[in-house]
Amino acid sequence: MPLVTTKKMFQMAYKNGYAIGAFNVNNMEITQGIVDAVAEEKTPLILQISKGARQYAKMSYLKAIIDVAVRENPDIPIAIHLDHGDSVELCKQCVDDGFTSVMIDASHLPFEQNVEMTRQVVEYAHKHGVVVEAELGQLGGIEEHVKGVDDVSKHLTDPEQAVKFVKLTGCDSLAVAVGTSHGAYKFKAEPRLAYEVIEQIRKLLPGFPLVLHGASSVLKEFKDLINKYGGKMPDAMGVPEEAIAKAVKMGICKVNIDTDLRMALTAKIRQVFAEKPSEFDPRKYLGPGREAIKELVRHKLHVLGCAGKAAECL
């Protein structure tokens, strides 16, 4: 089947209490690991392309890799999503290039400017059958070009403002700031997500899809491997998976995962180089990295509750 939008995915996710995993892709091996896991678990999928990925691999290469994955997995609903689009022009270009979902991120701007930019993207995207994700409130941390804030508690999404924003823009989903943070060094102590914010927005916008950014868990397995084989990430800390699972049950329909993928790939590459220092064949270290990504994604699909849900999202 061809690429799909996230509309049906989010409807079923909200109705049945699970979330769709949205995984960032930067090269062939990462994409293959993600797609192989999803195909085995029979799961709907969102593949995301960020600004950093566009600069590294070029949009045309990544789109072609995804197109192959779509052709080879006709029973899996796959959406291609622009992650953190930073201009109206970029979002329009991605719509024209065949993306089925785009995100316009003007959350760092004053409310009125955020509304206006989002409204322009929605107007163009909807004319072409493409859905739009927007963001309100600001996350902490730094990931690629996305600069967050130091004190996330002061920049949480305001529920009443969220209602106004959705009505004024017509966006299809909303990324909310509820205490998560970008990157691997998210927190100095275990975080507490603002579940009350999610609950209030859900009550004010019943059935509306909410998105969780900055939700990688920085799994101990990969942090330990990285540090064991020469890395220096002792203070890396993410969002506990039980916290994510709870947020999903409260109405989060999409969970972004990027940092965990990078850590899985890096951990295995470091392990190969340490155990086999004479190795120079990329297939011999990227292959184990790809397998690590596959097993990580399989695990995440069960955390999010979307394993086995492909058929109902077609």
- Where is pLDDT greater, at 262 or 235? 262
Predicted confidence band of residue 173 (pLDDT cuts 50, 70, 90): very high
Residue 188 has a pLDDT of 57
Which tens digits make up the pLDDT trace of 205-221? Answer: 999 999 999 888 889 99
Q: pLDDT of 17-65, one tens digit each?
A: 999 999 999 999 999 999 999 999 999 999 999 988 999 999 899 999 9
What residues act catalytically?
Answer: 83
pTM for the full model? Answer: 0.92
Domains by residue range for the chain, with CATH: 7-220+241-258+297-313 (3.20.20.70)
Residue 142 predicted with pLDDT over 80 = no
Looking at the predicted structure, is the pLDDT value of residue 303 above 90?
Answer: yes
Segment 263-279 mean pLDDT:
97
Round the average pLDDT of the chain to a whole number and report it. 92
SS3 letters across the chain: CCCCCCHHHHHHHHHHCCCEEEEECCCHHHHHHHHHHHHHHCCCEEEEECHHHHHHHCHHHHHHHHHHHHHHCCCCCEEEEEEEECCHHHHHHHHHCCCCEEEECCCCCCHHHHHHHHHHHHHHHHHCCCEEEEEECCCEEEECCEECECCHHHCCCCHHHHHHHHHHHCCCEEEECCCCEECCECCCCCCCCCHHHHHHHHHHCCCCCEEECCCCCCCHHHHHHHHHCCCCCCCCECCCHHHHHHHHHCCEEEEEECHHHHHHHHHHHHHHHHHCCCCCCHHHHHHHHHHHHHHHHHHHHHHHCCCCCCHHHC
